[in-house]
Amino acid sequence: MSPSEAFTVDPWGITEHGLDLPGQARAESVFALSNGHIGLRGNLDEGEPHGLPGTYLNGVFELRPLPYAESGYGFPESGQSVINVTNGKLIRLLVDDEPFDLRYGELRSHRRMLDFRDGILRREAEWTSPAGRTVRITSSRLVSLTQRAVCAIDYTVEAVDGPVRIVLQSELVANEQLPGGAGDGDPRAAAVLEAPLAAELRHADGLKGVLVHRTRFSGLRVAAGIDHVIDGPERTDTAAESSDDQARITATTVLHPGQKLRLVKYLAYGWSATRSLPAVRDQVEAALTAARYTGWDGLVAEQKEFLGRFWGDNDIEIEGDVELQQAVRFALFHVLQAGARSEERAIPAKGLTGPGYDGHSFWDTETFVLPVLTYCLPDAVKQALRWRHTTLPMARERAAQLGLAGAVFPWRTIRGEECSGYWPAGTAAFHIGADIAAAAVRYVRATGDTEFERTHGLELLVETARMWRSLGHHDAKGNFRIEGVTGPDEYSAVADNNVFTNLMAQSNLWNAADTALKYQHESGLLGVDTEEAAAWRDAADKMFVPYDEQLGVHPQADGFTDHQMWDFEATPPEKYPLLLHYPYFDLYRKQVVKQADLVLAMQVRGDVFTAEQKARNFAYYERLTVRDSSLSACTQAVIAAEVGQLDLAYDYTAEAALMDLHDLGGNTRDGLHMASLAGACIALVAGFGGLRDHTEQLSFRPRLPAGLQRLCFSMSVREHLLRVDITHATTTYTLRRGSVLPVLHDDEPLRIEAGKSVSRPTAKVADAGERPTQPPGRAPARRHGQAGVKIGSVDHLAAE
């Protein structure tokens, strides 16, 4: 079954009919449930068959050595990998001694459904055992968005065609055997760690079981607990047993046709690097007690209420393309899951949906995920930035190690230490510091949270500004230059004056100087004086931004437009992604772009480019960008819309949104692409909605492609809830909450008051000229046809 055929198109959910065994791992990622603290892959209840088992706790990892052919000063000595913690999803079913295994007997029907409105994964199956007995199984699974440590499963088995002896084994299992070779040689796939958990405590009694383990090298204590409510025939026996890596509660009964055995399973997880074994154990047992008190129906009601509020305030509505509507709600749902209860933990690139990238967080979070959460779940942004703030001591140590002032944040990490063993595309990407600073400034602008700005925000800005001032220098002409760094494009490493990096650093320096002036007492405690703040402002004012006068475009970095062109015509489709088939040495010295870099600079710092420059730059870089990264399509969508290439923007938006539902990169099995999912929302709101938030006042420049009839979205801004409703004829602004909010519509100042919608014509986009071309075979799939259904095949795409 092709990825695009695996799931039915439904605007409010994902449904899988039948069971595609070869596509199991992909479906497990799509059906993953999380709350930002706990992540459960969408494995079958009985555990097997599986693609890739996975239960994750945010921040729980194991250390592993980073081997180098040759050691070098400043190289990280160890890496951090997310681990598969104790699995509490397992409910094994035996029917007259025959294990319920979909590879045997006859599977009469099978359906799984994930409803975005209640966050519950439902399953229905009818199965006849090899011995000829038929049973009907239904289950529902949730990870609570309101009770952070809790998950629950409602599992029912019904006899269909005769008396049958039923045994249910509800288990906790640690150190599960994982399939090897998940990455098929792809270095981006996660490292597989075997048996990372050492047993500390095991207990099972009545209907409860608890296991406590400790990671062998990182020293993190992990506790998992289960409790149950069982409802069945009068004679239903139960038993409890445990071993170092297993706790099992067994229920046994005989069912006659029409009779049911129902088991409600409550799961709880806790972990700590510092608390004692009794403290972590007791935390889990308390969470189980609270879950049982709430009950299954209560947990479901809480989940529906939470998601009802979320969708009521934050839905993105589309008319004209039901598949894209489904995809963007899928995207919003998973972005919500990734950050809802992370609470001073990172938001990994895969969320908690799989082990891809070893569970690391990158700049993806601040540049793609947090801009979406800023306007729909701002507290999650605050928590993510507070996590960055907790890692400042490690970032300062890293800066000192590199001979720099301030703080150097890691390119990839779980706890805060640098885990990238490849300098050119890792630590050299210093722009991560400015990305974090920009996220902090955006959060404060959107929320007015001056307490955060005065404390955490100020210190983040100060330490990143100090890093830029020490990393760059003034040349003989007085220009401030930043050399030997890597921008977003990882096919162009260790370059001088990368435009994206320099412009982001410029904003960082200006914002640090302004915030230090605003909070002089607090900045004084950080050692900032007027001379240092003046030096930041001077560096920002004199920031060098290269420009190629002959071509009339901005080079991505100094000299980039002088490089030899990559021979795209001689590059066959099977050689993409290029990083897996060509040496970095060759990529670094050619004009070939992995992902939007200069184009991303035009999105985040569009205030410094003219409309003509944007159009020329976009056309130039389109023919160089191969999109060997899932981070690219959404950015190209935004700028394509801005320069008037609306159909191309539509194609890129669909690519970003369908990255995982259609498995465009072929690696959804390792987890979902959170940045691409968030990017799809950005493509719609910043692309077709034209949102720009460079200043205190939000600006909109709406325009729709021919394939969409309507786009509607809402944004939370400083206690206000603004609704923007766009059709080809008009754009209407409505304040759903709050009093008065000023905005710009196509540069016209508007004052939006409560109860008084304001409508303006949606601008007709002038002919943007010929559609830009991409490298051969790398164009996005055209999005044409009735109701937005694609015609033609999707080009091969390598997703980062």
Q: Closest by alpha carbon to 61, among 187, 177, 197, 189? A: 197
**Backbone torsions φ then ψ of 404, nearest 5 degrees:** -120, 160
Strands (E), 145-277: 150-159, 164-173, 197-205, 208-215, 221-231, 237-243, 246-255, 260-272
Residue 53 · residue 41 · CB < 8 Å? yes
Strands 720-727 and 710-717, by their bridges, are antiparallel
CA dihedral over 34, 40, 46, 50, signed as positive or negative: positive
Distance CA 107, CA 105 (A): 7
Kindly tell me the burial class for residue 611, based on how many C-beta atoms sit within 10 Å of its own C-beta (0-12, 13-18, 19 or more). exposed
Letter for the amino acid at 275?
Answer: R
Considering 490, 532, 622, 800, which one is annotated as catalytic?
Answer: 490
The DSSP secondary-structure symbol of 683 reads: I
Residue 767: Cβ within 10 Å count: 6
Question: What are the Cα distances from residue 303, in Å, to 40, 52, 119, 396, 707?
Answer: 16, 27, 7, 40, 34
Distance CA 173, CA 472 (A): 52
Distance CA 657, CA 11 (A): 13
Quote the tokens at residue 1: 């079954």
Give the chain's count of helices (H) and strands (E). 19, 32
Check whether 594 is labelled as a binding-site residue: yes
CA angle (317 as vertex; 316, 323 as ends), nearest 5: 100
The DSSP secondary-structure symbol of 692 reads: B
Distance CA 200, CA 342 (A): 26
Asked if the peptide bond before residue 749 counts as cis, ω within 30 degrees of 0, the response is: no
Distance CA 294, CA 302 (A): 9
Asked if the peptide bond before residue 49 counts as cis, ω within 30 degrees of 0, the response is: yes
Residue 16 · residue 111 · CB < 8 Å? yes
Residue 285: Cβ within 10 Å count: 18
Residue 131: Cβ within 10 Å count: 11
Residue 314 · residue 180 · CB < 8 Å? no
Q: Closest by alpha carbon to 53, among 188, 241, 194, 239? A: 194
Helices 322-339 and 378-390 pack at an angle, to 10 degrees, of 40
Show contacts of 468-473: CB within 8 Å, 24+ apart: 468/406, 468/433, 468/434, 468/505, 468/508, 468/509, 468/536, 468/539, 469/405, 469/406, 469/509, 469/532, 469/535, 469/536, 469/539, 470/404, 470/405, 470/406, 471/404, 471/430, 472/505, 472/539
Residue ranges of alpha helices (H) inside 692-731 are: none
CA dihedral over 594, 596, 598, 599, signed as positive or negative: positive
Check whether 595 is labelled as a binding-site residue: yes
Is 622 labeled as catalytic in the residue annotation? no
Distance CA 267, CA 765 (A): 54
Question: What are the Cα distances from residue 587, in Å, to 483, 580, 593, 599?
Answer: 19, 11, 9, 19
Check whether 364 is labelled as a binding-site residue: yes
Residue 412 · residue 359 · CB < 8 Å? no
**Backbone torsions φ then ψ of 561, nearest 5 degrees:** -75, -5
Residue 411 · residue 422 · CB < 8 Å? no
Residues annotated within the binding site for substrate are 363-364, 594-595
Binding-site members are 363-364, 594-595
Known catalytic residues are: 490
